[in-house]
Every structure is written in structure tokens, then in C-alpha cells.
């Protein structure tokens, strides 16, 4: 039997055509189906409500600098953030230790004003004052939560889905850009024993920027 015998009638030509289509489509079907099944199984828990253990793997980056300023002298500090993972929060700390004044009433201080125009997202501008007395309330500490209510502590949530949890623990792409602030020194300069001299004319200020980023891990709680 040659090829002419296979196609010499309309019925034979139709049967040959469907045989070819079947030989092409059948292997393709079984090649594609496993990947579709795996995709469904991988995302299958996203819509299931249950109890979940949520943990955070944190990465901390800091930028520190020290600047000496005279009275009413200002300094602009900058912190560039480029993160490929979620940002938990950004923190600015400014400290100083006034140990060269004659006594109470002559403590140096500072004024710190933020400038967040270069940052993605809507964050509150801050204007904070602090002293250099070295006590528990000295200096200035400002924190901006990029992910709302972020603490980094492991938690358990129930009656929710994995996708709902992931939607909550995200920075929505905010927090990237240039964080900046202006530090202005407030130097208390009492008169010195020698006329014309100044006991305290400047102060060293330690500036530290901190960004805490994280990867969230979600596992179902399985009762044994």
C-alpha cells in the first residue's frame, strides 16, 4: 500500500487528517497538564482559611556619621534606600553628650527637621527638639513605619488566608528614595571666668540612620 492508497478517497483523507492532529495534540496535552497541576497545587493554600505561623527574616542597614557644630549651625544629613524586599521601618537617631558646661542650666541641645520629599510614599514630616544631657530622654529619635504596625515579632493568626496575610505584610513599594533631615545646634554658652572667653562654643553630634527590611514566611499550624 502506497500513499496514493491512503488518500484516494475523501473519507481516507479526512481520517488521515484527524490522525495527524491527534498525534500532535495528544503528546502536547500531557506535556502541559503536569505544569498546570503543579501551579494549582502551589497556590492552592492561598485561598484556604486556617491558622498560620508568621515569621520575619530581618536585614538591618545603618549609616552613621559624627559632625561638630557651633551654635545655630545647621547640617543636612541624607540616607539613600534601595531595597528589593519589604521595608519594615526607617529610624533616625541623633545623640550628643554635653560634658563641658559648668553646671545645670547650660545644657546644649538640637533641633531636627525631616525632609521626605525624595521618598516614595506619604510619610509625616517631623520637627523634634532634644538635649545633650546624657539622660534617658536626651537626643532625638524618630521612627517612620513603612509597613504599618511592623514589629518583627513572630505571630500567629487564624481565620484568614495566606494571601490575606501577604497583602497585609507589605510595604506596597513605599520607602525607597532619599531620606533627609536638617540638624541645627543649640549651644549654651555661659560666660567664662576670663572676660571674653566662652566655656562651651560647639558640640559633637552622632547621627545614625537605620532601615530594617524583611522577608515574611508563612506556615500553616498543624495540630498533632
pLDDT tens-place string over residues 130-156 = 998 866 678 999 999 999 999 999 999
Q: Which of 97, 132, 91, 135 is nearest to 111 (CA)?
A: 132
- Residue 94 CB burial class (10 angstroms; 0-12, 13-18, ≥19): buried
pLDDT value, residue 120 = 97
Sites in the chain below the pLDDT cut of 70: 1-46, 100-106, 134-136, 189-200, 223-224
What is the length of the chain?
A: 224
Whether the model pTM is above 0.85 = no
pLDDT of residue 39: 41
Q: How far is CA 39 from CA 44, 46, 96, 162, in A?
A: 8, 12, 56, 16
DSSP 71: T
Q: How far apart are CA 83 and CA 60, in angstroms?
A: 11
The sheet carrying 140-145 orders its strands as 140-145, 86-95, 202-220, 50-70, 155-160
Q: How far apart are CA 97 and CA 95, in angstroms?
A: 7
At residue 107, the pLDDT reads: 79
Query: pLDDT value at position 222?
Result: 80
Instruction: Give residue 102's pLDDT.
Output: 54
> DSSP letter at 82?
-
Judge contact between 55 and 154, C-beta under 8 A: yes
In degrees to the nearest 10, what's the CA dihedral of 64, 116, 85, 206?
10
pLDDT of residue 44: 46
Sheet with 74-81: strands ordered across: 74-81, 177-186, 109-119, 127-131
In degrees to the nearest 10, what's the CA dihedral of 21, 24, 26, 31? -150
Amino acid at each position: 500500500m502506497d500513499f496514493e492508497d491512503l488518500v484516494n478517497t475523501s473519507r481516507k483523507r479526512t481520517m488521515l487528517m484527524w490522525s495527524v492532529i491527534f498525534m500532535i495534540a495528544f503528546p502536547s496535552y500531557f506535556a502541559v497538564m503536569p505544569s498546570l497541576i503543579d501551579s494549582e497545587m502551589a497556590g492552592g493554600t492561598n485561598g484556604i482559611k486556617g491558622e498560620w505561623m508568621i515569621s520575619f527574616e530581618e536585614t538591618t542597614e545603618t549609616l552613621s556619621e559624627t559632625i561638630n557644630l557651633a551654635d545655630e549651625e545647621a547640617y543636612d544629613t541624607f540616607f539613600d534606600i534601595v531595597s528589593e524586599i519589604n521595608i519594615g521601618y526607617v529610624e533616625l537617631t541623633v545623640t550628643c553628650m554635653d560634658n563641658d558646661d559648668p553646671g545645670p542650666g547650660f545644657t546644649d541641645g538640637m533641633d531636627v527637621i525631616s525632609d521626605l520629599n525624595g521618598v516614595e510614599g506619604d510619610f509625616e514630616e517631623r520637627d523634634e527638639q532634644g538635649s545633650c544631657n546624657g539622660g534617658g530622654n536626651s537626643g532625638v529619635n524618630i521612627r517612620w513605619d513603612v509597613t504599618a504596625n511592623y514589629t518583627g515579632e513572630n505571630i500567629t493568626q487564624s481565620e484568614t488566608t495566606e494571601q490575606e496575610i501577604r497583602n497585609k505584610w507589605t510595604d506596597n513599594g513605599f520607602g525607597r528614595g532619599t531620606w533627609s533631615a536638617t540638624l541645627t545646634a543649640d549651644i549654651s554658652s555661659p560666660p567664662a571666668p576670663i572676660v571674653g572667653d566662652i566655656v562651651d562654643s560647639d558640640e559633637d553630634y552622632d547621627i545614625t540612620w537605620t532601615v530594617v527590611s524583611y522577608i515574611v514566611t508563612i506556615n500553616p499550624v498543624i495540630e498533632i
